[in-house]
Amino acid sequence: MSLRHATFDGQPLDLPGEPPYAATLLQPWAGKQVWLPCDDPWVRGSGDEAHAYLDGARSSWTDHPEYMDFLDVRSPVHDLKQAETDLYLHHWRSHLGAQRVLDVGCGVGRLAVRWLDRGASVVGLDPDLESLRRLMWHAAGSKGSLDLHWSSAHTLPDVQVDLVVCAEVLCYVPDAVGALKQAASRLAPGGRVLLSVEARWAWAASQDVPSNTIDVALGGSDGVIARSGDRWVQTYTEDTVRALVRDAGLTVEDVVPSHWVPDGPLEGCSPDSLSLEELVALEAACRAHPVWGPLHRLWLVTAHR
């Protein structure tokens, strides 16, 4: 169900026309606890490995909402997340002109709002309802148009788009191949998929590393980091991320290792603030380094059907 079926205090929003809706129409609903019917009953579940990341997000909205809505300028990680988003868009800059975008796992909208600001039509999908609300608030009044779906990566709206974005999503989905196949099926001819997943090794040197995962860090497992009620993450080598894309019926165009300097293994010694130019230069230095080179935090991938 899309924004067409959204309600507030039990009453429909009565947005005029058809979705996606001009973001200017959303301004009256900014800051309101809008409700969306779910497309996939799975999003209401909890307690198993497939829901671990979603369970963690739900807890974090209660315990640390200021970290969850990092698009809010008052968030303590606002500048960090802005820098990371700028880095994403530096690598994916040739696709910023896309006019029809499906953002799978859109969260609060850190990437979606960048396309909306360029006048694009964006369909955002996420299993976390509170994140979708925040995206609507942040998008209200932008140049583009927006529709939202409360759903999983396996149940996508029936749309055709020029660009699918799956940033930091598929590594939290046990059936990543199935989800990526679904995403690819929404592409128009000539369309592209932009995705990022957690890399195999560097998470173990970062400040948010979970305890009791040393077996995964030492390579004695399949690379899955699992904590009940908190996280389930599949980490990837270059070979396995390429296999993921291939098995989903896509062709890899580009695979970029990113050290995610302000939020990765070198976070503790990173400068307090970095311009995009400085961040890109540090990324290049990390990739060329004999020790830190293999210890990147993410894979950034571009692919097509």
Residues with Cβ within 8 Å of residue 132, at least 6 apart in sequence: 36, 106, 124, 126, 148, 150
In this predicted structure, which of 247-251, 272-276, 286-290 has the lowest mean pLDDT? Answer: 272-276
In this predicted structure, which of 169-183, 196-210, 218-232 has the lowest mean pLDDT? Answer: 218-232
For the cut 80, the answer to whether the pLDDT of residue 267 exceeds it is yes
Counted residue by residue, the chain has a size of 305
Is-contact 157 2, C-beta < 8 A? Answer: yes
In this predicted structure, which of 16-25, 105-114, 212-221 has the lowest mean pLDDT? Answer: 212-221
pLDDT score of 236: 97
Please calculate the CA angle 162-96-241 and round it to the nearest 5 degrees: 70
pLDDT digits (tens, 9 = 90+) for 187-224: 999 999 999 999 999 999 888 888 888 988 998 778 99
233, burial (CB in 10 Å: exposed 0-12, middle 13-18, buried 19+): buried
Is-contact 286 259, C-beta < 8 A? Answer: yes
Mean residue pLDDT of the chain comes to 95
Distance CA 276, CA 283 (A): 10
Say how far residue 99 (Cα) sits from the centre of its chain: 19
For the cut 90, the answer to whether the pLDDT of residue 15 exceeds it is yes
- Best CA proximity match to 145, nearest among 31, 11, 18: 18
Residue 182: in which H helix or E strand, if any? helix 176-184
Which tokens hold the place of 7? 């309600």
pLDDT digits (tens, 9 = 90+) for 57-67: 999 999 999 99
Residues with Cβ within 8 Å of residue 271, at least 6 apart in sequence: 278
Mean of pLDDT values over 7-35: 96
pLDDT score of 141: 92
For the cut 90, the answer to whether the pLDDT of residue 95 exceeds it is yes
Residues with Cβ within 8 Å of residue 120, at least 6 apart in sequence: 98, 99, 100, 101, 144, 145
- Best CA proximity match to 23, nearest among 110, 122, 105, 93: 122
Which tokens hold the place of 219? 């390579």
Domain range summary for the chain, segments of one domain joined by +: 3-196+235-259+299-304
Q: Long-range CB contacts (< 8 A, 24+ apart) of 37-41?
A: 37/1, 37/5, 37/150, 38/1, 38/129, 38/150, 38/151, 39/1, 39/149, 39/150, 39/151, 39/155, 39/157, 40/127, 40/151, 40/152, 40/154, 40/155
Residues with Cβ within 8 Å of residue 5, at least 6 apart in sequence: 12, 36, 37
Distances from the Cα of 232 to the Cαs of 134, 171, 187, 228, in angstroms?
Answer: 24, 8, 28, 8
CATH of domain 3-196+235-259+299-304: 3.40.50.150
Positive or negative, the CA dihedral 205, 207, 210, 212 is positive
pLDDT band for 148, please (50, 70, 90 cuts).
very high
The phi, psi pair for 126, rounded to 5°, reads -160, 150
